[in-house]
A and B are shown apart, each in its own frame.
Chain A
Amino acid sequence: MLGSMSILEWGIWISALLYMVAFCLNAYRVLIGPSLPDRIAALDTMYMNAIGPVILMGISTGTRFDFEAAMLIAMFGFLSIAALCKYLLRGMIIE
């Protein structure tokens, strides 16, 4: 099975493995982070990294319909990070 894989499939699998390692490192920082902004920064990096595997899945299946999912992940990630930072700054989100 490994001998019949094309170079594009090798690239997709190696990239997915590297993204898995990056997710584990960021989850470690989310767990041990000594302060709240550390955890929020690690969550920021995690949602940025979550866009990559969605694009990978689109390349491996050959369709472009996953692009909207990546867009939604980017939008909701930015909104949640902004809301959490406003909560840390002011004590409330909507003044």
Chain B
Amino acid sequence: MEYLGFLVELVVALLLVCGGLTAVVGGIGMVRFNDFYMRMHGPAMSSTMALGCMILASILFFWFHTGTLRFPELILTLFVLISAPVSAHLLTMSALHLKLPRQSNTQGGPFELNEKIDQD
């Protein structure tokens, strides 16, 4: 039982560190990317991987701390997984509305940014 407790603590600590590392990677991308459309990767990283790791660690820790398996954190996961694409969509729509500049090697080419189609 002592060995199992140490193993659970190790897994919980690894999940916590993995969540923190993912948040740092999202922050580095937020600083280093040159373009708004590339910078939209940052919220996606921290909403899916970092928060998922933290919530898994919380469920696992409280399972072995209280002895019963309950999932109140899954409501939080559900809400964030629903709301993150909506906020990303609204952000990109406002960026396209303001016609933010993009780099030449940014893929995609939406018609809102294409000057030729605008002039025709």
Contact = CB atoms under 8 A, between A and B. Distances in A.
A44 B84 CA distance: 9
Interface string B17-37: 101110110111011000010
Interface of B: 6, 9-10, 12-14, 16-17, 19-21, 23-24, 26-28, 30-31, 36, 39-40, 42-43, 46-47, 50-51, 54-55, 57-58, 61-62, 65, 72-73, 75-76, 79-80, 83-84, 86-88, 90-91, 93-95, 97-98, 100
Given A14-B20, A26-B30, A58-B58, A36 B98 contact: yes
B75 to A, nearest CB: 7
Contacts of B26: 22, 45, 49
Interface string A46-69: 001101100110110010100100
Contacts of A4: none
A67 B79 CA distance: 13
Contacts of B21: 18
A11 B12 CA distance: 8
A15 B20 contact: yes
A55 B87 contact: no
A38 B94 CA distance: 11
